[in-house]
Amino acid sequence: MLYSYYSQVFPVDETFYLKILKSENEVNVTVRDAIQTDLDTRANILLIQKFGVNMEVKKGIRAFYVFHKDAHAYSYGVINDQTIPIECTFDCSSSMNMLFSTKTPIIKKRVEPGALEFMLHAEAIPSASDFTRATRCLWVPIHE
């Protein structure tokens, strides 16, 4: 009943956060809408920088993943150590019983030289008794 109430009152794309601040001094807080920002991408990049494990290293490209044990989920990112931009493709289409944060299990992104780019999240379907994670990282240089 509670879910039904909230889904009727609040739009589906809204997320609520509760932040409790305790201070002996006065605290000023400004609340902004983060939907139009890149906050989610920046948070994922920080996650991969701090906890990422090498998945693949080849010819100036490093692919990373972070495993989230409790959710049986993976976050993927890539660093372009070259001096030219690349088009990076993450192909998870051989995975079984997985959900993806992108519309398809294959995603392509442009990665600038020296940049770390968040690619996608993949999570085991909660009701699945078994899952298989399969990921390939392919890339081609972009000559402009």
Asked whether residue 1 is domain-assigned, the answer is no
pLDDT digits (tens, 9 = 90+) for 79-108: 999 999 999 999 999 999 999 998 899 999
Asked whether residue 134 is domain-assigned, the answer is yes
Asked whether residue 13 is domain-assigned, the answer is no
Asked whether residue 26 is domain-assigned, the answer is no
Q: What's the mean pLDDT when you consider all of the chain?
A: 84
Amino acid at 82: Q
Asked whether residue 18 is domain-assigned, the answer is no
Question: Where residue 14 falls among pLDDT bands split at 50, 70, 90?
Answer: low
Question: Where residue 19 falls among pLDDT bands split at 50, 70, 90?
Answer: low
pLDDT digits (tens, 9 = 90+) for 22-61: 778 887 877 776 667 788 888 889 999 999 999 989 888 9
Among candidate residues 79, 90, 73, the one with its CA nearest the CA of residue 54 = 79
Asked whether residue 112 is domain-assigned, the answer is yes
Amino acid at 74: Y
Asked whether residue 15 is domain-assigned, the answer is no
- Residue 109, pLDDT above cutoff 60: yes
| Structural domain for 108, as ranges | 37-141
The 3-class SS string of the chain reads CHHHHHHHHCCCCCCCCCCCCCCCCCCCCCCCCCCCCCHHHHHHHHHHHHHCEEEEEECCEEEEEEEEHHHCEEEEEEEECCCCCEEEEEECCCCECEEECCCCCEEEEEECCCCEEEEEEEEECCCCCCCECCCEEEEEECCC
CATH code for position 119: 2.60.40.1180
Decide: 123 and 70 in contact? Cβ < 8 Å.
Answer: no
Q: Which two tokens stand for residue 73?
A: 């989920």
Asked whether residue 136 is domain-assigned, the answer is yes
Structural domains of the chain, count: 1
